[in-house]
Amino acid sequence: MKRTATVFLSFLLISISCTKPEPAVSEAISTSLSAEPESTKEFLKENPKVQDEDRTTSISKSRSNAITNAVETASPAIVSITVTELQTGYSRSQDPFFSFFFSRPVQREVQSMGSGFIISSDGHIVTNEHVASESAKTIKISMANGEVHDAELLGSDELADLALLKIKGDRNDFPYIEFADSDEIMVGEWAIAMGNPFGLFADGQPSVTVGVVSATKRDFRPDPNEPRIYMDMIQTDASINRGNSGGPLVNSDGEVIGVNTFIFTGGTSNGFVGLGFAIPSDRVQKIINQLKESGSVSLAFDPGMEFTPMTTQLVYQYGLPRLAGLLVTSVNKDGPAYECGIMPGDIIIRIGEERVASEMHAWALMREYEEGDSMVIQLHRDGKEYETEMTLRKSVAGR
């Protein structure tokens, strides 16, 4: 009898659990489960600040996104750079007759500002060469937390427009930012430009502008009168203005994908029109590593020849054709240039797929190659054009 009752009760419980409750019962159960305990309601009534804090926390979380997270990660490592240089000018004498024939050289201190970012805990800083060059007398950096430090120039490279600074002292706890692989950049991904435009925030948080990567592998020679050649640049529509130079272009992970360097105005104005350019991080690391080791940048190979730009004087003096290129002046018989058939008197027209515009342009093109690579060179000789392939070897210091 006892066993029968147990079986009956078990069956009854199973039947109840499998039977769908009436709507009224379901509603009652739902209401009961969702209702806050009376003790909780009373606690919130007595402590309204707790409810406000929960609501504030919820709103703050909803405002956070990939951009704000990236900015929070990178901001502590962004610095403002103030450089003092000595520039030489000329002043006129008070004597009108004397000042007509002579002028007196005068040196004066000139301050300029730019941006940069810390790349190591011991205070190494990357910026543009046109922000901090060898002519700098003093360099001061201001951090986002308000700290101001003296810095020294470890090395700079005019051709790449990059410079490496070091905060003076033995401190090893500076916040720093990581590099991303610029070969992995996707056109259309977020791009965040950070820095100190117009020197507005010298002692505060860096300015942040947001856009996308508009294009990659853009080549430029912005000023025909200057030797700088910018190759494989990252194009972005994130606003870059004067003072942003040297600051980082950051991805949504808070990593550096490039160094903000210049804007292209198209002749319409002196301000930003949506075309900003940054040196890709892979090239930055390559140059910075050499500056850290030796203070200068060198080729990873020896081409085994010397050359000079074609000029009108050379054309008339030696009866050379009017061609834009480089005149080969000497060839080392033990070098790769001799081995591939290059001779003195040849005119280098192209290196790889690029037409050579100047000597600096040629060095910039050669920097794209490593020891062991093959470099195709197009030459002009005796009224005809030839193409040869040079196998690069032997590392040398210098360039």
Residues marked as catalytic: 130, 161, 245
Beta strands in the chain (DSSP E): 78-91, 104-118, 124-127, 136-143, 148-157, 162-167, 190-195, 207-220, 230-236, 248-250, 256-263, 276-280, 305-309, 326-331, 347-351, 354-355, 374-381, 384-391
Longest dimension (CA), the chain: 137
User: From CA 295, how far away is CA 166, in angstroms rounded?
Assistant: 12
DSSP code of residue 198: G
Cβ–Cβ contacts within 10 Å for residue 112, how many?
17
User: From CA 25, how far away is CA 31, in angstroms rounded?
Assistant: 10
User: From CA 112, how far away is CA 153, in angstroms rounded?
Assistant: 15
**Residue 342: CB partners within 8 Å, gap ≥ 6?**
305, 328, 331, 377, 379, 388, 390
What amino acid is encoded at 26 in this protein? S
User: From CA 324, how far away is CA 279, in angstroms rounded?
Assistant: 27
Spatial contact of 139 and 262, defined as CB atoms under 8 Å apart: no
Please report the sign of the dihedral spanned by the C-alpha atoms of residue 168, residue 172, residue 174, residue 180: positive
Q: Outline where 35-167 has alpha helix (H).
A: 38-46, 48-63, 66-74, 96-101
In sequence order, what are the beta bridge partners of 330?
306
Spatial contact of 348 and 356, defined as CB atoms under 8 Å apart: yes
Cα atoms in the 13 Å half-sphere on the side-chain side of 39 = 0
141 CA to centre of own chain: 18
- Residue 168 phi/psi, 5-degree rounding, is -70, 145
User: From CA 194, how far away is CA 191, in angstroms rounded?
Assistant: 10
